[in-house]
Amino acid sequence: MKKQLLFSVVLVIGILLSSTLSAVAQGPDDVYVDPSRAEGNEDGTEEHPYNTTREGEAYAQSLPDGANLHVKNEDGTWRSPQYVPPVASGGQGVPLPQLVLYILLAVLTIGLILAGWLFRRRARQLAG
């Protein structure tokens, strides 16, 4: 019985930690700029890059985590990416309210598991 409870608690904590860590581990997006591109669709991807650095920087600054700006050289290779931070501060990592919510959910889950275990144990004592 105690082994099952311990396994359940460890499993729940592991799931909550993995979801929290995956949210924290996301890095900034990539935005591409090809100055030689004259026309066409522009969305900042490698297939449809912006044609001016100013457009790429503006889009990168509008993203919550900023972005890595890749500019194409005249020989067709991409320069090393340059990180462009967001305009609004606080764009790094998981916002505190979201982290607090994850912690509260973890505590609530563990509390419910323990309460269920105690009710079950008490019911067995009353029945026996």
Q: Which two tokens stand for residue 63?
A: 């993203």
Q: How far apart are CA 33 and CA 48, in angstroms?
A: 9
Dihedral, 73, 78, 79, 83 alpha carbons, nearest 10: 130
Which residues have a Cβ under 8 Å from the Cβ of 39 and sit 6 or more positions away? 51
Q: Which two tokens stand for residue 97?
A: 């309210």
More confident residue, 42 or 21: 42
* pTM as predicted: 0.51
**54-97: pLDDT as tens digits:** 999 999 998 888 899 999 999 989 999 999 988 865 555 556 67
Domain ranges of the chain: 2-127
The pLDDT, as a whole number, for residue 17 is: 65
Chain mean pLDDT for the chain:
82
The pLDDT, as a whole number, for residue 12 is: 72
Q: How far apart are CA 11 and CA 5, in angstroms?
A: 10
Q: Give ∠ CA 26-40-80 in degrees, rounded to 5.
A: 40
Closest CA to 53 of 39, 38, 32: 32
